Amino acid sequence: MVFLDIEMPREQGTRIFEYLDKNEITFHLVFTTAYGDFALEAFEMNAIDHIMKPIRAKRIYEVIEKTEELKKQKKLHAKIQELKEVIQSGNFDKIGVPVQDGITFIKLEDIIHLAADGMHTKIYCADRSPLLISKPLKFFNRLLERGKTFYRPHRSHIFNLKYLKQFVRRDGNYILLDNDTTVPLSKEKKEEFLKLISDL
């Protein structure tokens, strides 16, 4: 952290960046001044804060605490951004779903089938009992984008093609999964689905 006076005998502190390259600016800048008129200019230069003279120890501590808090927030933001990039890149193979006591993370490969249940969604997994999630099925549309093995044969259903057991041409056409769950196939999706499974 650098505390810099704005008014100096031969120079103004606000010109500091004229003498530094961008890669040399690795510090937080705080201006000190006896003139309130410089406050706006200081903030336009992205200074952390400014301190009015006469300088009081309490004010210095306040600025230091503010700087530390901003550093924590920046680190947290960077971590969140990094996590988002990992998730969006498709390298994150889990999905977080809200449950009564928090958030449960499920491996995409373990999800067999998702079925709409009013404004809720029932998730059937290979390694656990079904979960009833208080989110509508459209909340899980990103599965269709991230998980290349997921398919939506009906507006109320999404299933994992890995668990496809049989396509049945009776009773209006339906899909049978490995856990013996039946999933309806809408008329609008029939042609697309048959083409899809013929290419598997």
Q: Are residues 139 and 57 in the same domain?
A: no
pLDDT at 44 over 50: no
Helix, strand or coil for residue 2? strand
Q: Based on the domain organization, do 81 and 152 belong to the same domain? A: no
Count of domains for the chain:
2
- By the 10 Å C-beta count (0-12 exposed, 13-18 middle, 19+ buried), 60 is classed as middle
Which one of 65, 88, 111 terminates a domain? 88
CA distance 190 to 195: 9
Instruction: For 85-103, write each residue's pLDDT tens digit.
Output: 655 665 667 888 888 888 8
Q: How far apart are CA 176 and CA 183, in angstroms?
A: 6
Q: What mean pLDDT comes out for the span 38-43?
A: 48
The domain that contains 69 carries what CATH number? Answer: 3.40.50.2300
User: What percentage of the chain reaches a pLDDT higher than 70?
Assistant: 75
pLDDT attached to residue 75: 73
- Same-domain check for residues 111 and 190: yes
Tell me the residue range of the domain where 188 lies: 94-198
Residue 138 to residue 172: CA distance in whole angstroms: 24
Q: Residue 175 sits in a domain of what CATH number?
A: 2.40.50.1020
